[in-house]
Structure 1
């Protein structure tokens, strides 16, 4: 039964109860951690206890929580103007400056940026762009891939479990096995685009085999299909270079980014050449529209974030810091650690072994989780600013959580 809300409500009913009552839930057991504030690699709870954030809001807070330069950029822009007009109609300085700085990080011909609100929206835009440019309908993605949860991305995601109850979805979608060279023959003259993650995230950090991405791009070129690389998780320094694809001798036709791009604010983008992106201008004109895409405040935050990552060369620190986790995180129960920079998966025997460890880690002040398609692996993707001292402390707490004997 609903009840009226007034200033006394929070006294009578605690925040957690209101959270469970009024916010739509997507699981029957949410973490429900109450955070008073966040700073750097820490989230501070109501009781003042600090929690080391080892997942960065799932790869979002690359420069840490509430970075002073990002906060200042948000405040300054909010005082000037916020939403004025749908994306692409007005010349808005934060959008223009951001697009210009992103273009500087990219090789030719990736110089045309379409700003949106999220990674899922970036995927949606890229799928439309590929179909419109090629005049084809087939989209190929990889098994165990994740590209978002709206209707289009859900259609190409590589897990039937998460989409079977939402069918029918987009037609003409096919899946291939990531890193399986022989599957490239399934890419044909019917294919509009192949979309893959540069590093598969929700599969549990699956890194491309040597030569796989160049071979994939070559096959796409042979049949006239476009290659879309999803760097929603890997972009903005996460893997040891500013863009993950820089490490694999490949340049996509369309690039997706979001998450770590915004410094904590919601923003995303799909990026291509002027030639490809130009198809949105006619037949029909306004071929892709977004009201809040490239929101001025989010764009200002993203610009500040980009400058921090590049000026402080945080991407160059990611590989060494990833190695520190491997150095300090050694335990007989750990079967394997897969990583590229600070995108890491720590594998255990099973979910039944891992879940109590994650729960105990939160109690000890370290936040981790598992992957959608690999629930026996622990996700580690902390802010890129994390120090060696903080890494060591986090690993000590994780080892204690691993050693904690579960209650019978």
Structure 2
């Protein structure tokens, strides 16, 4: 164990009892390079952040250029910062028409918090609806929406009330009534096990929200920016939400979140009282510059279509493995869930895959599911490498279980 590794365990707050603890010295393209020189193919893109891979030259150039101009100069929203304005302009050009005003934040969870404030202020209602299997972040309001009770329970009474509904069940939508300020949903659940709802369910949800006057919020923190084979996952369903929440790949590798809606909705935060929502570092100029550069590459290179094509091929190859332990492959673009018959097998498969130089992970709210979400720029030879190593990991996991038994 290196000195840095020891300090990591001793001085840095830990998020689990068993962190992966790879000591990363640099990252390039789809690869992470550890301190011992070993290379790892990043098949989760830093949990959906690095859509262009690591160190894309356009993003690095944008960061360098902005750093030479200025860093932080004022709390968000008070000065005219070119990087913020140009990014907001470009986002609203690419989103449906009524999503016309952007509020930048530091993260997806903070964007969810701002959205909940908008919903309460705009509707005069207090309650929210969310779905089983949902993940919207770990701040108190975002945690209240979480679909896994095990994550909510230790923290006592959370903001709410929140009504949790079964994901994808149109019959349950009658529980959305005139007490609900907003319904918050991921158009595709990532931490829920890559669950993809029917378009009919999403249309029924939109209709029900309209009937009772509730806002519809799409959390596209992970599904946005080409991940699902469309620039935004909402395009798969023909449904436009009242507010869209973005983060992860938005920042091009830098910390950045946002929520976006109509002038009337987002404008509620600017009056009665003014400064109804503030953030010091939200929309940091470096993050916005990186985000705009990343977005332009995604659009110019049509990486959404590339994700659809490569994702379909990768899913096909995984299905052809035909391992009895793998009970389902769910895929939409380059967001793929491999469901196993047993959670223990899934977790051991993750460890065996990482040991062979490919980074994968299981999902928080579906412990039998392993998620793949590689950079949208991943090459065919890298897919070959990943599939070969996963086959080896399957065999090793299978043999290990036979020995234990």
Q: Which TM-score band applies after superposition, normalised by the shorter structure?
A: over 0.9
Is 1:207 matched with 2:196?
yes
Is 1:222 matched with 2:211?
yes
1:378 to 363, 370, 390: 370
Q: Which residue of 2 aligns with 1:20?
A: 9
Counterpart-to-counterpart distance in 2, 1:117 and 1:370: 25
Superimposed CA distance per residue, residues 261-316 of structure 1 (whole angstroms, 9 cap, x where no aligned partner): 11110001000001111111211111110000000000000001100100001011
Superimposed CA distance per residue, residues 63-112 of structure 1 (whole angstroms, 9 cap, x where no aligned partner): 11111111111111111101000000000000000000101111111010
| CA contact 1:328–1:392 (8 Å) conserved in 2 | no
2:85 to 80, 89, 96: 96
Is 1:173 matched with 2:165?
no
Counterpart-to-counterpart distance in 2, 1:321 and 1:24: 37
| CA contact 2:199–2:236 (8 Å) conserved in 1 | no
- Classify the secondary structure of the residue corresponding to 1:193: strand
Match runs of 1:7-406 below 5 Å:
14-329=3-318, 330-332=321-323, 333-404=325-396, 405-406=399-400
Give 1:395 shift: 0.5
Counterpart-to-counterpart distance in 1, 2:7 and 2:25: 16
- Classify the secondary structure of the residue corresponding to 2:225: coil
Superimposed CA distance per residue, residues 179-232 of structure 1 (whole angstroms, 9 cap, x where no aligned partner): 111111111111111000010111101101131111101110111110000000
Q: Which runs of 5+ in 1 are unaligned?
A: 1-11
Counterpart-to-counterpart distance in 2, 1:295 and 1:323: 36
More displaced 10-residue stretch of structure 1: 350-359 or 97-106: 350-359
TM-score (norm 2): 0.96
- Classify the secondary structure of the residue corresponding to 2:223: coil
Q: Which runs of 5+ in 2 are unaligned?
A: none
Where in structure 1 do 4 or more consecutive aligned residues deviate above 4 Å?
none
Counterpart-to-counterpart distance in 1, 2:35 and 2:305: 35
TM-score (norm 1): 0.96
- CA RMSD of superposed structures (Å): 1.1
Aligned length: 397
